[in-house]
Amino acid sequence: MTLVLTRKLLWAIVTLIVASVVVFLALEIVPGDPAQVMLGINATDEAVEALRRSLGLNRPPLERYLSWISGMIVGDFGKSYTYSVPVWELFIDRVTVSLPLALLSLFISAAIAIPVGVYAAARRGSAADTGIMAISQLGIAVPNFWLALLLVYVMAIWLQLVPAGGFPGWEAGVLNGLQSLLLPAIALGLPQAAILSRVTRSALLETLGEDYIRTARAKGLSRRATLWKHALRNSMIPVVTIIGLQFAYLLAGTIIIENVFYLPGLGRLVFQAISLRDLIVVESIVMILVATIIIINLLVDLAYFWIDPRLRRRGAR
Amino acid sequence: MSKLRRIAVAALMTTALMPMVEASTALAAKTSLTMGMVLEPPHLDPTAGAPAAIDEVVYSNLFEGLTRIGSKGEVLPGLAERWDVSEDGKTYTFHLRKGVKFHDGTDFDASDVKFSFDRARAEESTNAQKGLFAGIENIETVDPATVKITLKSAAGSFLFNLGWGDAVIVAPESAEGNKAKPIGTGPFKFGNWVKGASVDLVRNDAYWGDKVSLEKATFRFISDPAAALSSMLAGDVDAFANFPAPESIPQLKADPRFKVVVGSTEGETILTTNNTKPPFNDVRVRRAIAHAIDRQAIIDGAMFGLGTPIGTHFAPHHPAYVNLVDRYPLDLEGAKKLLAEAGHPDGFKATLKLPPPSYARRGGEIIAAQLRKIGIELEIIPVEWGVWVPEVFKGKDFDLTIVSHTEPQDIGIYGKEGYYFNYTSDAFNDVMAKMNSETDEAKRYGLMGEGQKIITEDAVNGYLFQLAKAGVWNAKINGLWENSPIQANDLTGVSWSD
Amino acid sequence: MTPDLAPPAQHFWSRALANRSFFVGFIITAVVVMMAAVSYVWTPFDVTELNIAGKLKAPSTLHWFGTDHFGRDIFSMIMVGARNSIAVALVAVIIGIGIGVPVGCWAAARGGFLDEALMRGNDIIFAFPALLSAVMITAVFGPGAINAIIAIGIFNIPVFARLARGAALALWTREFILAARVAGKGRALITAEHIVPNMANLIIVQGTVAFALGIIQEAGLAYVGLGTQPPFPSWGKMLNEAQTMMSFAPHMAIVPGLAIVITVLGLNLLGDGLRDVLDPHLSRERT
């Protein structure tokens, strides 16, 4: 098992290095000059040049790449050109919105999908199963930003139940904060729930069809006990995989939803930073996200070992 | 006093007090204001950057200058209580207010004024309006409450210029930190900045002047027009000085909860044409385009009716404006004929680079459809400002673009060498030279009118409309500016009724 | 020949039409494709023609789905927009299959370090947050349909590469492949002759799923202004334009949204149906 882990770690590091080169190169060829953007149309050429110098943009690319990378290794992610605060601070600011949002929508997704999926599997072929499958099929097809639009107009503007958008900051109270994350979390979570419920159902059906379950049933265990005791745990691998994927997606892939609800999250930070050509912010935040996704994948792998003892033995071999 | 009576009195007093308590809680709820803004400032130091968003948060609220600009564009005393101007108009003596403190507790005096202006004038300064200080010859601190500024030559606009956000007074102790944590002398001090979301200002109880009635002002940044509308309708935002979704204005106007004020701006929105690039170097092509443009359709379609058609590069509300809207009436046949004369009987292909504002993106789509009718196929290329400035404005690499020129009375750009639309006209330059040496206002206006006619005759650019500005706010708010003579959201006089 | 898993053609159609998912999905997809095809020769109104005076009209007998803020006929725009959605998503799938499947097969055939390296390359793509990367790609190359295709296509590559590799690895252990190897056939030949035909069904099924996803992704990119550019209509852009007008012209937001939902639903049903029909072994109620 340690061997497997070491190998995975090594590859993770290689992945990070390659990713950093790709991100850096991509942003090198993005047209547009950050200094020019910051100073606006009427700035004189010398003022732009002075700013470029003070931002260190006049240094050769290789030098900038190396100083960026060496900085990151010791935990210095650079300083935002536009906000002139450390990128790390911006990241912390934003992640306190994005992370709770991702967790909340993941929670909504799992809280709906797993019971529904189990229920459908347990009553396979029934009208309820067919109905659930049909609804989930529809749910997968709904783009989350369209759902978000509809939710804003129904819940926030017609019924005025929740704020239409914005984020008051956690200083305004946990409840207020959660309240403004609720609609975006639902808009993100429901389509995910549709996918997850189908995964849960089919994973469960697959395990229920396997020999040891039949054996357990033959040994006289009740249907319900079989389901809960054996089948569910063993069908968790695909479910955990999907949850891991969804989490990674939710953490960074919520740009559109963050725009609909004007939440100050990570996705929107990067989106804005790209249009302002705040390159260092884009580079560093994307790298942090890539690293996070790699770590999540590692954790998902670890979860396999925990869930399935057979894998543990195989890994040790 | 019997026990019963005591109880009765207590009960009476409680009931008497109850409405008061309620009233005061109602009042307490109305001492904060959330103002929506489209763009977030990159930082909060108005002396170190051009973005208008900086001034829109801090001007007059957090930072003050020697003079300040009032809601009608008038010059008012600011940190300078009064001033004397020498006979030759070159020397200004400012008498400063006493007892003024910066938000960090340090005292304001003449040395801060000298520091601020010297800093702005310095070679390594990143002040976006260095030109404001270029005329300063010398700054002298006579005593802690008096500053004497000598100019190289007399300049009538000097007092107005000192009212700009770029000329506010900062303290040497805190100047470097102003970008992230601004320290000024204003009636509000910096509270908190949630990057990407909002900036909070809180009342400065140690303010030298009249205390403001708002305890807290929040600027919330909402760039998305849809989000702006929903936040306004849901009451998350109390006011927008410049509402980004013109399509929603009729709906907001009809809603008694809101007050909508449509004002004009100094923004001439034009279809900028690259005058040296074929086929646009042929005046017949440019005139054909002018004949093919239906301005009212653009105003209705892109701005939902907000905006005034213009026929030249001048603001219609200015007394020197000449109405040339009918110089090129909508005439597709005439346009086609002009194109044919210019050697393009079947039209041609060109590009149209569009910056992000909706006037440009939507207006561009409409213009592309209008020009298609005379055979000109435009490829629409949306660009961000970060690309527009170096490519179009500096690099002049474009055929057509749409942009609003927001500087006041900026017809002079048509005489500027190397300006991005590459127009040169000796006739125009002569008129401008005459105007600049003319002191009689009526004659100046006459010459401005001539200049307008020349550029319209040459159809330098497609003249579309004067950009309107729609302010939307809760009907219970008093004291917000209806016009914006300078970029600012001055909240010092704002209060809630009831 | 090998014991091919694919059933003969006539057999396929009779079984397919009996499958409810396939039937419904096929009909929906066919209607959408037909709409797109017809739009080349006929639409009720010209989608490049603006009629500002007739803007924001609610659905009527003249304009079935109403008009937008420029007075364009929304039904016509949906028809032409279908072309755009289909083209972008389809080409993105072709990129995914065209690069992903060879890479996956090659990795499986060679094994060892090459396999590991190729699959890690996949992981690197997977590690990038897809939408953010799409935003970066369009920032580098400028917004537009072609760049949207590239951005979506790149993220299809690892999906197909993994799938192909997994399927190929399983096939390499099968007796008929061993027989071919014993007969002296090279790895490349075996891959071309036996491996690829036998994973075709799997690829087709995954292809429909990726196609459906591509339509949502394209709409998302267009929604944030990075996809297809005007004057060509696109469903995502229509939604974006509808946003601020939702309270007085809800049809502008509802119609394109429904178009996306119905198309994606149709494709997903088609994919499910195909899986059941093409490969009875796989039909054990997977998602």
Question: What is the interface pTM, i.e. ipTM, of the complex?
Answer: 0.85
pLDDT of C103 above 80: yes
As assigned by CATH, the class of the C3-286 domain is mainly alpha
Report how far residue A207's alpha carbon sits from residue A228's, in angstroms, rounded to the nearest whole number. 12
Yes or no: say if B241 and B228 are a contact pair by the CB < 8 Å rule: no
Average pLDDT over residues C60-85: 91
**C225 in contact with B at a CB cutoff of 8 Å?**
yes
Band of pLDDT at residue C95, cut at 50, 70 and 90:
very high
> At the topology level of CATH, where does A100-265 sit?
MetI-like fold (1.10.3720)
Per-residue pLDDT of B351-404, as tens digits, reads 999 998 889 999 999 999 999 999 999 999 988 877 888 889 888 999 999 999
pLDDT of residue A310: 62
Band of pLDDT at residue B7, cut at 50, 70 and 90:
very low
pLDDT of residue B19: 38
Chain C contact probe: residue of B233, B361, B365 with most C CBs at under 10 A: B365
Kindly give, in sequence order, each residue whose CB lies less than 8 Å from that of residue B353, ignoring residues fewer than 6 positions away: B381, B382, B383, B388, B391, B392, B398, B399, B400, B401
Mean pLDDT of chain C: 85
pLDDT of B25 above 70: no
Yes or no: say if C52 and C70 are a contact pair by the CB < 8 Å rule: yes
**Cross-strand partners of B463:** B270
pLDDT of C235 above 60: yes
CA atoms within 13 A on the CB side of A25: 6
pLDDT of residue B104: 93
Least-confidence region, from A72-86, A191-205, B259-273, C204-218: A72-86
pLDDT of residue A221: 66
pLDDT of C7 above 70: no
pLDDT of residue B412: 85
Q: Considering CB atoms only, which of A11, A199, A297 is closest to C287?
A: A199
Question: Which chain B residues have a beta carbon less than 8 Å from that of A181?
Answer: none
Interface of B with C in 291-320 (CB under 8 A): 297, 300-301
pLDDT of A213 above 80: no
B27 within some domain: no
Cβ A85–B180 below 8 Å, yes or no? yes
pLDDT of residue A11: 80
State the pTM of this model.
0.82
Mean pLDDT of chain A: 81
Count of C-beta atoms within a 10 Å radius of residue A155: 17
pLDDT of B15 above 50: no
pLDDT of A317 above 70: no
Domain housing B130: 64-175
pLDDT of C96 above 90: yes
Q: Considering CB atoms only, which of A33, A47, A157 is closest to B126?
A: A47
pLDDT of B62 above 90: yes
Q: Considering CB atoms only, which of B42, B236, B384 is closest to A164?
A: B236
Band of pLDDT at residue C277, cut at 50, 70 and 90:
confident
**Least CA distance to C242: which residue of chain A?**
A149
pLDDT of residue A311: 56
Per-residue pLDDT of B28-60, as tens digits, reads 447 889 999 988 888 899 988 777 788 899 999
Average pLDDT over residues B238-260: 88
Report how far residue C184's alpha carbon sits from residue B194's, in angstroms, rounded to the nearest whole number. 68
Least-confidence region, from B156-165, B462-471, C20-29: B156-165
Interface of B with A in 389-428 (CB under 8 A): 389-391, 393-394
C210, C220, C39, C87 alpha-carbon torsion, rounded to 10°: -40
Q: Considering CB atoms only, which of B368, B372, B382 is closest to C143?
A: B382
Yes or no: say if B292 and B374 are a contact pair by the CB < 8 Å rule: yes
Three-state DSSP at A192 gives helix
pLDDT of residue B100: 93
pLDDT of A180 above 60: yes
Report how far residue B152's alpha carbon sits from residue B141's, in angstroms, rounded to the nearest whole number. 18
Same domain, B356 and B459: yes
Which residue's structure tokens are 């207020």? A176
Tell me which of B446 and A302 has the higher pLDDT.
B446
Chain C contact probe: residue of B247, B349, B384, B465 with most C CBs at under 10 A: B247
Q: From the CA of A286, how many Å to the nearest CA of chain C?
A: 8
Interface of A with C in 121-160 (CB under 8 A): 124, 137-138, 140-143, 145-146, 149-150, 153, 157
pLDDT of residue B234: 74
Same domain, B258 and B271: no
- Please spell the DSSP secondary structure of B236-257, one letter per residue: S-SEESS-S-GGGHHHHHH-TT
**B50 in contact with A at a CB cutoff of 8 Å?**
yes
Which residue's structure tokens are 């536009």? A82
Task: Compute CA B236 distance to the chain's CA centroid, rounded to the nearest angstrom.
Answer: 24
pLDDT of residue C137: 80
Domain holding B257: CATH number?
A: 3.40.190.10
Peptide linkage before A163 cis (omega within 30 of 0)? no
Q: Which of A233-237, B436-440, B491-495 has the highest mean pLDDT?
A: B491-495
B44 within some domain: no
pLDDT of B439 above 80: no
The first and second tokens of residue B12, run together, are 């009476």
Q: Considering CB atoms only, which of B50, B227, B236 is closest to A39?
A: B50
Band of pLDDT at residue C238, cut at 50, 70 and 90:
very high
Cβ B49–A38 below 8 Å, yes or no? yes
pLDDT of B4 above 50: no
Q: From the CA of A93, how many Å to the nearest CA of chain B?
A: 7
Report how far residue C23's alpha carbon sits from residue C27's, in angstroms, rounded to the nearest whole number. 6
pLDDT of C29 above 50: yes
Three-state DSSP at B220 gives strand
Number of domains in chain B: 3
Same domain, B120 and B138: yes
Report how far residue A156's alpha carbon sits from residue A142's, in angstroms, rounded to the nearest whole number. 20
Q: Where are the domains positioned within chain C?
A: 3-286
Which residue's structure tokens are 């006619």? B453
Mean pLDDT of chain B: 86
B440 within some domain: yes
Q: From the CA of C230, how many Å to the nearest CA of chain B?
A: 7
Task: Write down which residue in B127, B148, B175 finishes a domain.
Answer: B175
Average pLDDT over residues A30-41: 73
Q: Which of A65-69, C92-96, C271-275 has the highest mean pLDDT?
A: C92-96
The first and second tokens of residue B437, run together, are 């040496």
Question: Which chain B residues have a beta carbon less than 8 Å from that of A156?
Answer: 230, 234
Average pLDDT over residues C190-214: 88
Same domain, B271 and B409: yes
Cβ A202–C284 below 8 Å, yes or no? yes
Q: Considering CB atoms only, which of C50, C143, C243 is closest to B369?
A: C50
pLDDT of residue C2: 43
Q: Which of B234-238, B263-267, B484-488, C96-100 has the highest mean pLDDT?
A: C96-100
The first and second tokens of residue B283, run together, are 């005046």
pLDDT of C236 above 80: yes
B446 within some domain: yes
**B349 in contact with C at a CB cutoff of 8 Å?**
no
pLDDT of A262 above 80: no
Band of pLDDT at residue B330, cut at 50, 70 and 90:
very high
**B385 in contact with C at a CB cutoff of 8 Å?**
no
Band of pLDDT at residue B283, cut at 50, 70 and 90:
very high
Cβ B386–A32 below 8 Å, yes or no? yes
- Please spell the DSSP secondary structure of chain C, one letter per residue: -----SPPHHHHHHHHHH-HHHHHHHHHHHHHHHHHHHHHH--SS-TT---GGGTTPPP-SSSTT-B-TT--BHHHHHHHHHHHHHHHHHHHHHHHHHHHHHHHHHHHHH-HHHHHHHHHHHHHHHHS-HHHHHHHHHHHH-SSHHHHHHHHHHHHHHHHHHHHHHHHHHHHTSHHHHHHHHTT--HHHHIIIIIHHHHHHHHHHHHHHHHHHHHHHHHHHHHTT-SSPTTS--HHHHHHHHGGGTTT-THHHHHHHHHHHHHHHHHHHHHHHHHHHH-GGG-SS--
Cβ C50–B366 below 8 Å, yes or no? yes
pLDDT of residue A84: 74
Q: Considering CB atoms only, which of B195, B226, B386 is closest to A37?
A: B386
**Least CA distance to B298: which residue of chain C?**
C52
Per-residue pLDDT of C153-189, as tens digits, reads 988 998 899 889 888 888 888 888 888 888 888 888 8
